[in-house]
Structure 1
């Protein structure tokens, strides 16, 4: 059995992930998997000739079972996951194979929780969605804040201070798929708008003051607008909180300084979602498999600060930052290190989150990979 199997290796995110594994974990046994044997072989020869290749169709249950049985950990870079992820998650849950992906589709994750959480608990498989820019900085930032504070929180707000980076075609494709599914199915629409849609028992969660998409003022008086990833990130963090038995509230905002900028940000965010849905406007956005050049990606960076208020009334903060495009190079590092952490550290199975499945060893790996966590 090989160490790691990377499915979707020849896509944009897959190639970056494979390159990170080759550069930083070249001693591991890796299988590059996808649909095109020639492209996989070419990539393998470029990165590490000792690696193997495998071919499989994401919609074939037999193919996905065969891939899941080949490795201790599977990385899935093939999205939208609502269209291409179900069979591989099912296969890994049944085989007891650990699994990570870049999924930012809450309805799909809700379905995997309902269908596979108990199976994964029994098989020992750790199914860990959202191991990229959505939602590692959010989830692991809260983890670092809690570890620093040493007390339970009443509330935590993550504030985007700086962000520069491109949206991947895969992310746009996932946004489109989620919105289209919600438009067709009222049940999915309700799941999408439920702030606790990924929590084990949503009805038992604390009441939330404020909405995910709103213009508001922060505790320090600055104006803030909506963060376009908050409708997903917040659900992941709230699932982590619930799995840990904690009940603090969690929100995400984007600091703008002025009220005018906050409303402008709200307009841009709405336009982004609209553009992902309209064929005429979608041409202006990157297609799946496309992304910025290496030179453009090198200019990317982000800085998020988690502000927490403990049960004692004391205030804490933890800033998470990294250089490089957060949606590409930093995501490839986060995804790769999640898989390697699973490979080297045991834990209980289930459909989990980055923080609850990976914890302190992953925090160490992220810092070694260039992410900075500064808690006060």
Structure 2
């Protein structure tokens, strides 16, 4: 919180005001749908303004000349507040759970501690309020075991980020280079796949370890995602706190997979498109999300139409696991090309990987 005040006092006051408003609303929000919708609209609009005004400006700059509109519209480019996405998602989670009456409110200081808890504010994990408030209430103060456990996790995270990820960056940073051979591009995309894993999971280790020093056990964010046998299992074990958040507050409210198959397809693409957009305000992130959405739909089709015809003995064999894991891993690896490069470079790399050898 001190860092937020120092870096941007006006932004901190805005977020503090939003938090205070949300807390006051949460007192009377139970079973009041209109109040919930109104209270959610404000933080979502703030998130859209700070994070996606650049994307809106880019779109307008391409549309306005085509429409011959004068004068040209120039949108502001505000500095992105630290952890605004994670802050907003925690706020939404808290308000929704209070609306459902599924959790206690806590006092104002406890609520602010949860919203601005610095170890997980910049980049998650997105901790849930019930787990956080339970530990806050039951806190026994500082213990030396918290320090040792926390430092061990922090050291693991630093090794992943500063050693493994940085070594792989020497290769993966060439992903926007042209004129390389197919073999080199495969090395680059493999390097990027492991780099982003070690970098992000390393950060999560540091955040979880830092929280542990203060006595908190924060939700785990990664569980060997590259060792899973299908894309659904991958997403249940990659950025776990984000995936579960979208499942609980977007996918299920949309109807999840309870309706028709066509409705399930639509819900899946909406959620994965939003997950892509959440990672950044650019078209390539949306493409990446939709790519994974297509993978999830293909898996659902495979599970319904093909999998029942395959003998159970084969499905449970080590060979089947190995093949499934390799297919899933390479599906994810190829997806990272869309994630980290623009459309033209993505197409170029995919051509080099699969067409031109």
> Scaled by the length of structure 1, what TM-score is found?
0.22
Greater relative contact order: 1 or 2 (C-alpha under 8 angstroms, separation 6 or more)?
A: 1
Higher fraction of helix: 2
Indicate the structure (1 or 2) with the bigger Cα radius of gyration.
2
> Scaled by the length of structure 2, what TM-score is found?
0.23
